Structure 1
């Protein structure tokens, strides 16, 4: 990469980082290119030259956020951790993701951009599900998951958790001790209401 390409890449990354910060507090419809340009310290023309439109910029920003989140997730899952540690890490990542991107905002982004929704769905099918199944099998092989439990059971329970995560997150915040709350959720996931380790 020559000096010009490196500079161009740095500018693009700064624009995307600025857009990501704005998305955390402002809906995509209310974000203006003028605001991004001022906050990123670049001209509006530069943004249009790199991304073409506000919609394309937001799409690229969300894609990069999703890709980084998955890379970090995959890197942790490839390390030597127990199934319980991996599940706890998934819940922590979900908490962090939803703190940065509230579910309502993410739904708005996906419903207003079919191309982005298709991309996220494809990533989920091609990467998230196979990785989840691999983690499940590792948990089976290590004896951490009962023979009575199938991959479909674990995926169904995780789907229930994730589909209700906005409500769970609100309850965790209201509890006053989010770490303890999520610790209890992990315990319940593994041992049920009455079970013991």
Structure 2
């Protein structure tokens, strides 16, 4: 990457950061390109040159945000932690991320966020497949379950655990979290059932 590309990438990150902050505080409809430019310390012309419209900036910003979150999750997956600890860390981050998306949805018309989320489903499913592969390899997830069934199971669990973390704070009650993980992996039976 040459100097020009590095400067452009740095400016885009500044713009994304400024836009995300303003959208979360005031809502997409209540901010202008001029306000984003001022916060990012770039000219409005730079934003229009890079993105064309405020809507396209918003779309690009959300894609960049999801890419950064998936990268954070991948770093956790590649860590030397146990699979249970990886899941805990990912769920804690996911609770924060869901709150941020909820704030974006509440601060303006939620339709763009929902439309956007359907557009990044492929990226999220790719991460999910990596997660399942590691879980099966380490023996935490039974090999007999299909990815389709596991995806539904994970979605239900992640939604509920994210709500729990949102209400009770980050790892407020590790014993309760451990019990939820036990339920997640082994169900209601007293012993692990399927390998």
| TM-score interval, normalised by the smaller of the two chains | 0.7 to 0.9
Match for residue 123 of structure 2? 123
Match in the other structure for 1:161: 157
Q: CA deviation at 1:56?
A: 0.8
Matched residue pairs, number?
187
CA deviation string 1:97-150 (max 9, x = no partner): 234x1435258787326763343112123x12311321320232xxx4578x84
Compared with structure 1, are the counterparts of its residues 24 and 157 closer, same or farther at alpha carbon in structure 2 (3 Å cutoff)? same
Note closer, same or farther for the CA distance 1:30–1:171 as it changes in structure 2 (3 Å cut): same
User: Does the aligned pair in 2 maintain the 1:91–1:182 contact within 8 Å?
Assistant: no
Aligned-pair CA distance for 1:66: 0.7
Assess, with a 3 A threshold, how the Cα gap between structure 1 residues 189 and 150 changes in structure 2: closer, same or farther: farther
Matched residue, 2:53: 53
Question: Residue 29 of structure 1: CA displacement?
Answer: 2.1
Tell me the equivalent position of 1:85: 85
Return the alpha-carbon distance in structure 1 between the equivalents of residues 114 and 189 of structure 2: 44
Question: Deviation per CA, 1:54-101, whole angstroms, max 9, x where unpaired?
Answer: 1111111111111111112112212322121111112122133234x1
Measure how far apart 1:8 and its partner are.
2.6
The question of 1:105 aligning with 2:104 is answered yes
Conserved 8 A contact 2:83-2:138: yes
SS at match of 1:66: helix
Instruction: Provide the C-alpha distance between the structure 1 equivalents of 2:174 and 2:25, rounded to a whole number of angstroms.
Output: 25
Give the drift of 1:184: 1.6
The alignment's C-alpha RMSD in Å is 3.3
Check 1:114–1:76 CA distance in 2 against 1; reply closer, same or farther (3 A cut).
closer
Shift in Å, 1:2: 3.8
What are the residue-to-residue correspondences of 1:170-189 with 2, within 5 Å? 170-173=166-169, 178-181=170-173, 184-189=176-181
In structure 1, the gaps of 5 or more residues are none
Q: Which segment is superposed worse, 3-12 or 51-60?
A: 3-12
**Contiguous gaps of at least 5 residues in structure 2:** none
* Cα separation, partners in 2 of 1:114 and 1:163, compared to 1, 3 Å: closer
Q: Distance in 2 between matches of 1:38 and 1:22?
A: 11
Is 1:15–1:36's contact at 8 Å kept on the other side of the alignment? yes
